[in-house]
Copies of this chain bind each other. A is one copy, B any other.
Amino acid sequence: MARASSMPAAPSRMLASDNAAGAHPLVMESLVRANAGHALAYGDDEYTRRAETAFNELFDRDVRTLFVYGGTGANVLALASVLQQAESVVCTNWSHIHVDETGAPERVLGAKLLDLPCADAKLTPDQVRAAAAVRGNPHHAQPGVVSLTQATELGTLYTAAEVRAICDVAHEHGMLVHMDGARIGNATASLGGTREALRSFTVDAGVDVLSFGGTKAGVVFGEAVVWFDPRRALRAEYLRKNVTQLHSKMRYISAQYEALLADDLFIDLGRAANGAATALFEATRHLASLGLTTPPAANSLFPTLRDPAKSRLQEWSFFWDWDVAAHQVRWMPAWDVTADDVAAFAAGVDAALAGA
């Protein structure tokens, strides 16, 4: 196609998603190193003990950590552990558990997700308070758990104070708080970049259980669920297999998490992805039709793009549509996207929009 030939060279790495990237070399090395001899299954091994200790150190207290296979499984296990029967989960209309998990929470939990409209994918204390008003009325599913996503599905962030305000309202009404931290490294990098920062918007803010994500931050597979008060996790070990999320050869997950937590690697990888998003924002903000006016808080941009430029770009270096009706797409750099990748992609955007 003549027009495609006028595009510059495509970047080596796509902006399709942070799960399009591979594993970080240190993580892969740790996984490979774990492949030595025999180890008892199901977590009764040295790798898992070390990884559990690493989580205790990360949060500076004795937490309960269980490894699972994936993000949906982490959320389902976390929610199952803190929901009571006939309760619902309060979440946003953008939340991954509501939109992107093919109904797994409803199927496995048998519980309602009460999705509240939130323009920026962030719940407010007032919304939680309003939802709690039906507690005690036997005709309604009882709001029992608030689920926050950090960073949110729209790339926004809750400050530590915002999380705390929601946790306070939730606890005041007898509810517990789950945080979906599929992009916990991005959030931590953006909110201070230290372990203290991480604690400030999780355990210190009152979060009860955290889905700690690694898949989008350089692991091969495996996520962690962290209960800050181990008493909330009394049935969690049974629940993990009960929801199909217990891996037998646990050492391979644990070993990856040893590497991911060592020297705060997960924060570095979040910072790298966030930085690529910011660089891309800077490199494209001059194109008014994209509508990019605010620098990204984490690692995603949601520009406006119309055909034929959109399709041309997607064929050249793939990315996903976000809101077809609104002509929005999503650009989401992974931890390994380089300055060269960003420059190459931005050049392509320039060319496509010029050609359009």
* Residues of A bordering B, CB below 8 Å: 12-14, 16-17, 19-23, 28, 31-32, 34-42, 69-73, 76, 80, 84-88, 98-104, 106-108, 110-113, 115, 117, 130, 133, 138-142, 215, 220-221, 235, 237-249, 252-253, 318, 324-325, 334
Contact = CB atoms under 8 A, between A and B. Distances in A.
Contacts of A246: 70, 72, 102, 138
B138 A241 contact: yes
Contacts of A35: 22-23, 28, 220
Contacts of A69: 69-70, 73, 221, 244-245, 247
A100 B112 CA distance: 12
A309 to B, nearest CB: 21
Contacts of A238: 85-86, 102, 138, 142
Contact of A141 (B71, B103, B142): B103
24 contacts: A13-B37, A14-B38, A17-B41, A38-B334, A42-B139, A69-B247, A70-B247, A80-B85, A85-B239, A86-B103, A87-B103, A100-B140, A101-B241, A102-B246, A103-B110, A103-B112, A104-B242, A106-B106, A106-B141, A107-B242, A108-B243, A112-B113, A138-B240, A215-B248
Contacts of A76: 244
A-B pairs, 8 with minimum CB distance: A103-B141, A86-B238, A102-B241, A69-B69, A86-B242, A19-B248, A107-B110, A73-B244
A172 B140 CA distance: 33
B104 A252 contact: no
